[in-house]
Structure 1
Amino acid sequence: MHSQQQGWAEQQDALAEFGQFALSCIDLDLILQRACELVARGLQTPIAKIMQTIPESDELLIRAAVGLPRDIATTGVTKVPGGHGSAAGYTLVEGEPIVSHIPTETRFQVSEVVRRADVVVSANVVIGATGEAFGTLEVDSLAERTFTQADISFLQNYANLLAAALDRHKAHRERVANAEERSILLRELQHRTQNDLAIITSMLRMEARRAKRSETRRRLESVGHRVEALSLVYRRLYVTGVTDAVNLSAYLDELVKRRFLMHGLEHDDAVKLDLHLTPVEVDHSQAVAVGLIVNELVTNCLKYAFPLRQGTVTVTLERVEPGKARLTVADDGIGMPDDQVRGHGIGLELTPVLAKMASGDFTLEQRDAGTAGHLVFYIPDLRGGGSKPL
């Protein structure tokens, strides 16, 4: 009686241990191998194996096993006959647990693997629904033994738990495949969008060069700069393969330096660039909005603040409190014209709209020396999405 209770306890421990392992592991081969190890321990059998059905084949694959000598079978390679050609095949035909005394068996042919392993008694149960079975779970004894109804119930419960783990793994694979497909499609869209924006930028530059009126040329160039700011985001998304998180500091660093070069300013010019950018991750739409705001502010600084081409443009990105960041674009020049400060320029007219897109608030400050634009915005929590920043 004590031995029966001890055996029952070991079986329950094996079920519980496998359940915990299956929930924490996504490697199917490890799940199947661990299943064999624990079921062999629970039933105290020297051999346990999982026989997997092969689509459009009458054979079964020994997918995982413990206790089988390598000169008899290799997991993932060795196959046995299905149907009435093996105990596992017969179990799938009948759709119910099969216990077999191998030396006297007449219902089916004993497979070469079972015969060479000197199996005396085997027990098989179906893994999964009969019509869509994954295969069978088999335990083999090398000595005379009676598999009790309790033993078979344990084996079937174990197979049911294994079937649930297989369903979970299949669903995980499908989710990964769907995510990869969506990622590929999105990257293709990013690539096409990047190319389209590059074409638009080139066309705007061409039209700006052809424009006879300076005001028309200025507006076309301004629009071209905005399109370029958008294109830069898509280029970074495509190159890195990231689809939902942008390292805002790296993006702004490249954007501002490009804007200086577009205005003919190099590192050794009298108009200096001072960058203080703390790494902050935002989503794609926020990056676009913040980038357009920075593009307008830096462009205005370079156009209006330094008639003598002397001074400094400072761009600062910092965290001000948990979940919030502040962006500041400032110059120490003569400032902007009054009509620009009042928002008469199209860029600054758009800034409040862009600030809302960035989940923030924008203010413009007139200083004793120069002008400063401030954007305080919320930072999304992108850690749960598993994304890496650009």
Structure 2
Amino acid sequence: MPTLMRSNPEHLLAQQAALARFGEFALKSEDLDTILQEACRLVAEALGTSLAKVVALEEDGQTLTVRAGIGWKPGVVGGLSTHLSTGSEGLALRSAESVVCQDLAKETRFAVPDFVKAHGCRACACVVIMGVDGRPPYGVLQVDSLRPHAFGEQDIAFLRSYANLLASAVGRLRANARLRRKADDNERLLRELQHRVKNNLQVIVAILDLQSRQLRAPESRAALRSVGRRVEALRLLHDKLHLSGEVDELDLGEYLAQLSASLLSFHEDGTARVQLALEVERGLLVSPDQAAPLGLAVNEFITNSLKHAFGEGLGRIGLTLQAAPAHRALLRLSDNGRGLPMPRPKTGTGMRMIESFGRQLGSAVHWTSDGTGTRLEMTIRLRGA
């Protein structure tokens, strides 16, 4: 194999172009083995050698494993290990310097590994792939030649450039892996917290219900059950998040449909005399921070309708949720009861709470009321809007 003309300007430009393309590739790829293998292919091609490899230093600080390579027989890449005390790779890592050998048959600084001899290698050049953020070196990048070969300073500088790119890629991918592990751990902890919150809220709901049944005064019993309904709305929210496996979004239609049906069951005669009409579009996603005030607003509207709209007669409560332009959703609540008294009361706790939840969501609350019932409309920003 002829020796390359290192001083050829065209050859220098070709090396620089190849290095630039590899840099872009290393930045985009998320697979370290692919990056290492491509580096081996390119340096072997550029320096005119038949073989190249990346040898990784294992966590024990003593074992070297061939992680990637080109030109080697099956079983070498990914399956062969040597000790730090042997080979040009070990010498480079121990000395933190590049190692060049023009003729392995005359080498006295290190013992040549058996697999290198078996392949007929006669010359080599290797550089250290440094660690980042204070970590130990990752390993070495090495080219091997099947005949004595005069590797020059330009060759070593070229190898160092690749090694530096590999060090950056290793650091980036390791940092990404740490971030993913941390994110997974945080998500798992958050799901566990949601599960515990849901269970605790369920206990609170049960206690409030038990206490309300023991109270004799109707006003006190009603007030305690009203608190229980609000807690139930939050419990159901955490239940939906836990069951869906998500921590930052949920299907608003499913949540409000289940919540409104649950609210009727809280009233002793609600399901017997009041019909619930649901028209909800699925797949409209909101964050838990949005779902909580929306659920409480629905709770207040349905509770007020059951208490004031129908008297002792039959009634109908409607809940409609549908997609709206500009990544919004339109929520309509209605009943066919007697309507709000005019002028509209300003002291009602439920209405004040609903309007407060609307402000929290950045949504105006529109009321209409006549002799045929009461209606409420809110426009909600969906997740990602």
Counterpart residue number, 1:105: 107
Secondary structure in structure 2 of the residue aligned to 1:242: coil
Counterpart residue number, 1:388: none
CA displacement, residues 284-339 of structure 1 (integer Å, 9 cap, x when unaligned)? 11110011001111222233333465443221223443144331101223235669
Q: CA deviation at 1:347?
A: 2.1
Equivalents in 2 of 1:329, 1:303: separation in Å? 15
Aligned pairs for 1:13-162 within 5 A: 13-70=17-74, 73-83=75-85, 85-100=86-101, 101-128=103-130, 132-162=136-166
Counterpart residue number, 2:365: 362
Where does structure 2 lack aligned partners over 5 or more consecutive residues?
none
Secondary structure in structure 2 of the residue aligned to 1:360: coil
Equivalents in 1 of 2:6, 2:260: separation in Å? 78
Counterpart residue number, 1:172: 176
Tell me, yes or no, if structure 1 residue 372 matches structure 2 residue 375. Answer: yes
Contact 1:318 1:325 in 2 (8 A): yes
Decide which of 233, 237, 259 is 1:255's aligned counterpart: 259
Q: CA deviation at 1:154?
A: 0.6
Decide which of 273, 290, 300 is 1:286's aligned counterpart: 290
Contact 2:302 2:317 in 1 (8 A): yes
Secondary structure in structure 1 of the residue aligned to 2:246: coil
Q: CA deviation at 1:128?
A: 0.8
Secondary structure in structure 2 of the residue aligned to 1:99: strand
Q: CA deviation at 1:202?
A: 0.5
Contact 2:229 2:266 in 1 (8 A): no
CA displacement, residues 105-143 of structure 1 (integer Å, 9 cap, x when unaligned)? 111100112111111111100001598211100111112
Equivalents in 2 of 1:207, 1:345: separation in Å? 25
Contact 1:301 1:336 in 2 (8 A): no
Tell me, yes or no, if structure 1 residue 227 matches structure 2 residue 231. Answer: yes
Equivalents in 1 of 2:35, 2:165: separation in Å? 11
The normalised TM-score by structure 1 is 0.89
Secondary structure in structure 2 of the residue aligned to 1:243: coil
Tell me, yes or no, if structure 1 residue 306 matches structure 2 residue 307. Answer: no
Equivalents in 2 of 1:314, 1:226: separation in Å? 19
Q: CA deviation at 1:30?
A: 2.1
Q: Would the alpha carbon gap of residues 293 and 2 (structure 1) be closer, same or farther in structure 2, given more than 3 Å must change? A: same
Contact 2:264 2:271 in 1 (8 A): no
C-alpha RMSD over aligned residues: 2.6
Moved over 4 A (4+): 264-270, 336-339
Equivalents in 1 of 2:321, 2:236: separation in Å? 19
Secondary structure in structure 2 of the residue aligned to 1:132: coil
Equivalents in 2 of 1:46, 1:335: separation in Å? 88
Q: Would the alpha carbon gap of residues 257 and 37 (structure 1) be closer, same or farther in structure 2, given more than 3 Å must change? A: farther
Secondary structure in structure 1 of the residue aligned to 2:364: strand
Contact 1:11 1:43 in 2 (8 A): no
Counterpart residue number, 1:349: 352
Equivalents in 1 of 2:321, 2:278: separation in Å? 12
Equivalents in 1 of 2:20, 2:271: separation in Å? 66
Equivalents in 1 of 2:380, 2:42: separation in Å? 54
Decide which of 210, 217, 220 is 2:221's aligned counterpart: 217
Contact 1:64 1:75 in 2 (8 A): yes
Where does structure 1 lack aligned partners over 5 or more consecutive residues?
383-390
Q: How many aligned positions are there?
A: 378
Decide which of 189, 193, 199 is 2:203's aligned counterpart: 199
Equivalents in 1 of 2:351, 2:30: separation in Å? 52
CA displacement, residues 81-120 of structure 1 (integer Å, 9 cap, x when unaligned)? 213x111001112212111121111111001121111111
**In terms of mean alpha carbon deviation, does 266-275 or 44-53 score higher?**
266-275
